Amino acid sequence: MQFNSIDFLFFFLPLFLAAYYLLPKSWRSGLLVAGSLLFYYFGSNEPWLTLWVLIGTTAFTYLMGVCMERLNKVQVLSFSLAVLAAILVFFKLYDGGSMLPVGMSFYLFQLAAYIIAVYRDQVRQERDLFRFGAQTMMFPKLLMGPLMDPKDLQNQVKKPVFSTENFHRGLQELILGLALKVLLANRIGGLWGQAGTIGYEYISTPFAWLALIAFAAQLYLDFWGYSLMAMGLGRMLGFTLPENFIDPYASKSVSEFWRRWHASLGAWFRDNLYIPLGGNRKGTLRTILNLLVVWIFTGVWHGVGGNYLLWAMMLFFFIVMERLWLRKLLDRSRVLCHVYTVVVILLSWIPFAIGDWDKMLIFTSKIFGLGGAGLDPTDYITWGGKFLWLLVGGVVCATPLPRMIWNKVKDHWLTDIVLFILFWITVYFVATSAQDPFLYFQY
């Protein structure tokens, strides 16, 4: 089941909210666990397998938390992380990842964060099974995050905050995220898909750039849309989920971009890998080595294909260059730093988007004008015209402007009327078009 589906919007969510608010408060953690399991079951290609993996890993982590209080903490931690890592690697490698449960990387990382926090005495082992299950299985963040600080998550599940203002704001965020996904991300993705349909060897260099911009916009709006919906659903249930995207394309460096893009995943790697390795406290060479380890893990987290490792190594290279000397040069010009960041990020999306090495090389050659003019040198005019307003909308949404406007109008009564109309337009597109899953579901 997906947030952008009729089943979720008109059946699962209303029924769940009715039960959540009408039944006794003491039942809410149990209801959240049951609802999350149903949500996960109906959203999986292999429902029973994925459901048992979710239940099994959650039960295992709970048991390890209990053992942490009675046995050697280092040994329990090492064993726990090894098992969780082995499960993730197995499913990513087995049959090319075809059996990988939806969102597995996210919830296994949340479980790992919990057991690490117990080891560090940052949280106490949760004894209530339902509250523990609610922390790990909470359906708004189950499939694609955000990853949350275990202490904050534990406190929120114990004392959720309910108010009409929170519910109202959550509903607004839910509709905005849905619109970003359905009305912009899905439709902009058509331009990127068209490039693949034509064949990368047959497109012109300008069209290749347009297609790459379309992919970058689609990925951002897709994931940002999901994150907004997750935040909105969390508010409606009494929880405050952290913001995952903080205007990343407005960044002045690649390093800054990756603090703003999928911020909760970056924070996870920082707190649980980079800092324990020594961070930047042990000299330049050690810092570079620590960054290398982090980015290797980041690449593998996204997938075991060599294209993801190439993507990660590209970003690692530029982040190291910025630390050594490039950032000083970029700081001299406000324009140069933004242009540099956008261009580097766009180019880094090539191996992320194209897993086939031959096709990747062909597309890259087109990007740099080395692959000939293509079958139709004016194809960028034809397709650019068809997708013009969608591309403009995508580019505008990638700036801080939408956030600035939203902060000024979100409390005005007219905003709710606009959102009401926007919701039903979005529902029409959901009902009359093929359902496009969120792109990060594969991780």
User: 381 in helix, strand or coil?
Assistant: helix
Output the pLDDT for position 104.
Answer: 87
* Pairwise CA distance, residues 306 & 64, whole Å: 33
- Closest to 243 measured CA to CA, from 416, 423, 407: 407
Torsion of CA 289, 290, 291, 295, to 10 degrees: 100
Active site residue 338: no
Distance CA 440, CA 400 (A): 23
**What is the DSSP-derived secondary structure letter of residue 262?**
T
Residues 6+ apart with CB under 8 A from 418: none
One digit per residue, pLDDT tens: the chain, 443 residues? 788 899 999 999 999 999 999 999 999 999 999 999 999 888 777 788 888 999 999 999 999 999 988 888 999 999 999 999 999 989 888 776 777 888 888 999 999 999 999 999 999 888 899 999 999 999 999 888 899 999 999 999 999 999 999 999 999 999 999 999 999 999 999 999 999 999 999 999 999 999 999 999 999 999 999 999 999 999 999 999 999 999 999 999 999 999 999 999 999 999 999 999 999 888 899 999 999 999 999 998 888 889 999 999 999 999 999 999 988 888 888 899 999 999 999 999 999 999 999 999 999 999 998 877 777 888 889 998 999 999 999 999 999 999 999 999 999 999 999 999 999 999 999 988 766 666 655 55
Residue matched to tokens 């060479």: 285
Q: Token pair of 214, please?
A: 């379309």
Asked if residues 113 and 232 have their Cβ atoms less than 8 Å apart, the reply is: no
State the burial class of residue 430 (Cβ atoms within 10 Å of its Cβ: 0-12, 13-18, 19+).
Answer: buried
Cβ neighbours, 10 Å, residue 220 = 24
Q: Among all chains, which residue has been given the structure tokens 């969510």? A: 13
Name the pTM for this structure.
Answer: 0.93
Catalytic residue among 168, 262, 302, 412: 302
In angstroms, the CA 163 to CA 186 distance is 33
Can you give the pLDDT at residue 438? 67
